[in-house]
Structure 1
């Protein structure tokens, strides 16, 4: 099984797709996944297929479980596009057999017609190396943590 996943939530797009700025400390294969999420979240519903495994699973912060390229693309098509997307990679752990876990945080910015708020979240992704590329097998994104009284 192949599985990796990087974080993302989505909402409506006002800006053209532009890949997120590359972080000099992030592995190029992981950066390619981040860039694909950025392009997808800004409106290209097909951008994630090349970085997800055929049976990859996406579990966005907005809820749901989407398995495979077709379900992930259908979810993206129904979700409004974001106007901004930023990702921080906090930790990459090698699991063995070519698998890695990527853990970090992200922010997405809603378009003005949805309030323009910037929303933070966290993610855990599991991916498998295929040569110089990474294939997402599981991606789980979490909304911001709430504390008592919020």
Structure 2
């Protein structure tokens, strides 16, 4: 997008040629206009993508909400299915115990993953950066 008030010249038309001084003096305003237009384009693109991201996140949240109820119905179906061979209270206890075991396993796996990520310091990047700084200083690699 260009400033409609700016005067542009056709270099092939000798009547509209500008001098080098005129072109150099127009350069800052042209660059400013270009940067402003690029920022406007960037802003509109980011707003468009963020709004789509928000809509997508909302739809996923709605789907997860419905999946909670689907899971609840499946648990009830499991209880009722087992209740055909055992008393209802025992079938509910069996299903609850199975869900508890799965929840404990998932929690333990999650804790192990969290422990691998703590502390959240990019140690490899820091080590690489220290090597780069030492190389620039002319110290070579140092072993810590």
Normalising by structure 1, what TM-score? 0.20
Q: Larger RCO: Structure 1 or Structure 2 (Cα < 8 Å, ≥ 6 residues apart)?
A: 1
More strand per residue: 1
Normalising by structure 2, what TM-score? 0.20
Larger Rg: 2
